[in-house]
Amino acid sequence: MSQILEKCLSAGKTFTSSSDICPICKKIKSECRPLSHPIVLTPEQTEDYKRWQDSWETFGKKGKKSPAELINQTSGNVVYYTPQIILEAARKTLGEFDLDPASSEQANKFVRAKKFYTKEDNGLSRSWFGRIWMNHPFSRTENALWINKLVNDYDQGNIKEACCITYACTSEKWFRPLFHYIQCFLSPRTNYLLPDGSVYKGVTKGSVVTYLGINRQAFADNFCELGAIKT
């Protein structure tokens, strides 16, 4: 018993030639848009989503935000979970996620990091290590804190490798440290998941995945079908 979420993610098709046809959208490589493919949830994921529904209903009643407010996420209340296809490309690159420094029990059902820090832990105040997946809570005041800690911990050798997803805020000061690393500018716009499992379609910015580590070729290979690679 599985559930299909409209316009979410795909099965990570690898094309071997330009005439190869994607089994999902039946298009050739240049026309295939994996980020717009539907995702089929496993029965376990479907059950998880049902459980999240209740907490999301409660949250929603507290007041939904306009798209602009959601983009800026000034309150830090809104959580956007990472689409599975992006997590899987990052997992292929890193092997496993030793740590997700910004997460929750629900989110980690998908991220499957060996260890994760929650809001209650305050991941910013903890030690970071190993291979990291990061999709931090986006807020104007906190962006620089999360990005600077990631880059500093990598430079100091505390972190072995990392993939992090952010909005492609290329003109913002907090984003600049990420320019030093290989990146995939995702295309089309990434539709993140809301805690009830639905796809949030109001995102008005593109997203980018940045890789910190020595396996740059692996990152490029695993992400090249999801967007444009900047070395």
Q: Where are the beta strands (DSSP E) in the chain?
A: 4-5, 39-40, 99-100, 115-116, 130-134, 159-167, 182-186, 207-212, 227-230
Helix or strand (DSSP H, E) at 67: helix 67-72
DSSP state of 170: T
Stretch that binds ligand SAM, among 16-24, 51-59, 111-119, 148-156 (CB under 6 A): 111-119
Stretch that binds ligand SAM, among 36-44, 75-83, 168-176, 201-209 (CB under 6 A): 75-83
Is residue 105 a contact partner of residue 54, using CB atoms and an 8 Å limit?
A: no
Regarding 52 and contact with ligand SAM (CB under 6 A), the answer is: no
Regarding 135 and contact with ligand SAM (CB under 6 A), the answer is: yes
Q: How far is the CB of 13 from ligand SAM (least distance, A)?
A: 22
Regarding 111 and contact with ligand SAM (CB under 6 A), the answer is: yes
Regarding 84 and contact with ligand SAM (CB under 6 A), the answer is: no
3-state SS, residue 161:
strand
Regarding 124 and contact with ligand SAM (CB under 6 A), the answer is: yes
Regarding 107 and contact with ligand SAM (CB under 6 A), the answer is: yes
Regarding 128 and contact with ligand SAM (CB under 6 A), the answer is: no
Question: Letter for the amino acid at 66?
Answer: S
Is residue 162 a contact partner of residue 179, using CB atoms and an 8 Å limit?
A: no
Candidates 146, 151, 166; CA nearest to 213 is 151
φ/ψ of 79, rounded to 5, equals: -115, 130
Regarding 123 and contact with ligand SAM (CB under 6 A), the answer is: yes
Regarding 104 and contact with ligand SAM (CB under 6 A), the answer is: yes
Site residues, ligand SAM (CB under 6 A): 79-82, 100, 102-104, 107, 111, 117-119, 121-124, 135, 137
